[in-house]
Amino acid sequence: MIAWLATYDGKTLDGVPVSFTIDREHVISHRETWTGTECPGPYLQSRLDDIVARAREIFTAR
């Protein structure tokens, strides 16, 4: 999903302009936006850098 969204960077999606880069500034978890949540949990939270790296690989392989 991250790699797919990046294909719309600089375009519009359903009429909404998209500005999206595959990096940790743009790929964030619920925990990083709302206080008081444990989502996505410690395992997935600790893997976000790996998820971003894999999304970059998928995106550049297109």
Question: What does residue 16 show for φ and ψ, rounded to 5 degrees?
Answer: -105, 125
pLDDT on residue 36: 78
Mean pLDDT, range 21-34, rounded to an integer: 91
Instruction: Answer yes or no: is pLDDT of 23 > 90.
Output: yes
pLDDT on residue 38: 79
pLDDT on residue 40: 83
Residue 35 is given by DSSP the state: T
What six digits make up the tokens of 33?
């936006």
* H/E run at residue 49: helix 48-60
